[in-house]
A and B are shown apart, each in its own frame.
Chain A
Amino acid sequence: MPAAVYLPTSIEEMVGLLEDGDREPVIMAGGTVVMRLVHEGALIPTAVVCLSRLGLDRITSDDGGVRIGSCTSLAELAAFDAAPMLAEAAASVGGPALRTTATVGGNLFARSPYGDVTAALLAHDAVVEMTGPAGSSEQPLEDFLAARAPRAVVTGLRVSAAPASTSFLKLGRRRANATAIVTAAISIGEAGPRVALVGAFQRPRRSAAAEEALAGAATGARIGEEQIEAAAAAVAEEADPMADAIASAWYRRRMAAVVVRRALQSLGDGE
């Protein structure tokens, strides 16, 4: 039975579609996550709600920070110079054609070891804005990834504009168009160190052990070699890596330490 496909043109209409039916409809933004799962036979939807006509594709910024619409394309985020680590993370995903339609919100739902933009957002303490039949709400991204509310659609993500030293490093089997073996998104700001990783755990996550090892590190200051080694070792110890066709868990654990070390060594380069 072919799926019913809806393209609501207002948030109200979208919420109405979420309320109907016993089963939650499949939510689709750019289609790069959903269409692939459908092609692979991993997803056989009966109803699909497409977000592309809701105007959720804007990036706005003010003194408080940056708000990224959930349907913002990775191509657009990759060109957003005001948030260099987010731009670098977006540019690291796939190739130019994928980035035209893939969205920031969709990256939150891409199965590991995808999630490079998600990791960069975690390093920026992103807050997720959602709306659904239960109304509008928000949640720190870290909590959202652990347990997301059902029948709530992500409409945007907010990050603060507070100054920070950042470093992003993605290790894949190729220099481009490659799934992560390990990706590190690191930020040292007023709120403290943030070390967010793809591939080191079962989903994009911050390494509490690495962040503890980096306690006291200051924005803009070079981190000492001893502290870098401690953070890298802490990640290798804490890691619970996934194994797949891209890399074994053993290799990911080894590379998590290497990638974190290199990312910390290049903190502040080019700033």
Chain B
Amino acid sequence: MTARMVSFAVNGRAGSVAVEGLTSLLATLRDSLGLTAAKEGCGQGGCGACTVLLDGEPVLSCLVPVDVVEGREVTTLEGLTRIGSLHPLQQSFQDHYAAQCGFCTPGMVLAAKALLDRNPAPSREEIAQALAGNLCRCTGYQAILDAIEHAAREVTP
């Protein structure tokens, strides 16, 4: 079985990955590219811990066959900011204690980023709807919603 090449950009850098068989984008990010922020929480598309952005739109990378990202732009949490500084969303999560174990956090932050890119001044209900696909077992969600509300106010002029 020969490997096939899939070419796509991750966090602004173009590259190619050798792939065999039916491989998910999540497995490619974690195992081939060492980008481990995206997590496997369920493998079923129910928890959102694997959320990344594909051409700016949130996707469940555990369910995305890597072939369909050919020629497209993937954004992971690692791409949100340079090492040594925090994106306003990350800073706000930290300030509001919106992460406990941190497992859901990468997916939450990217789902929030996708929301704020599309709707810079969301209501709390709109934030909750945008994060409907992201489960958290630790925080009870309120701190996460607080963090995103605050970040929205910060980022919007």
Tell whether A pairs with B: yes
Chain A residues lying within 8 Å of B4, measured Cβ to Cβ, are 5
Q: Are B57 and A52 in contact (CB under 8 A)?
A: no
**What is the bound-complex CA distance between A189 and B22, given in angstroms?**
44
CB of B146 within 8 Å of the partner chain: no
Once A2-B20, A3-B21, A5-B21 are accepted as A-B contacts, the answer to whether A97 and B65 lie under 8 Å apart by CB is: no
How far apart are B73's CB and chain A's nearest CB, in angstroms? 14
The 0/1 profile, CB within 8 Å of A marked 1, for residues 37-68 of chain B is 00000011110100100100111101111011
CB of B133 within 8 Å of the partner chain: yes
Contact of B65 (CB < 8 Å), options: A2, A50, A94: A50
How far apart are A223's CB and chain B's nearest CB, in angstroms? 31
Q: How many residues of B are in contact with the other chain, CB < 8 A?
A: 32
Q: Are B58 and A97 in contact (CB under 8 A)?
A: yes
CB of A220 within 8 Å of the partner chain: no
CB of B75 within 8 Å of the partner chain: no
Once A2-B21, A95-B134, A98-B45 are accepted as A-B contacts, the answer to whether A31 and B58 lie under 8 Å apart by CB is: no
Q: Are A101 and B63 in contact (CB under 8 A)?
A: yes
Give 5 CB contacts A-B under 8 Å: A2-B1, A97-B58, A97-B133, A98-B60, A176-B133
Q: List chain A positions with a Cβ less than 8 A from chain B.
A: 1-5, 7, 28, 30-32, 34-36, 38-40, 45, 48, 50, 52, 75, 94-98, 100-101, 175-177
Q: List chain B positions with a Cβ less than 8 A from chain A.
A: 1, 4, 20-22, 24, 43-46, 48, 51, 54, 57-60, 62-65, 67-68, 111, 114, 129-135
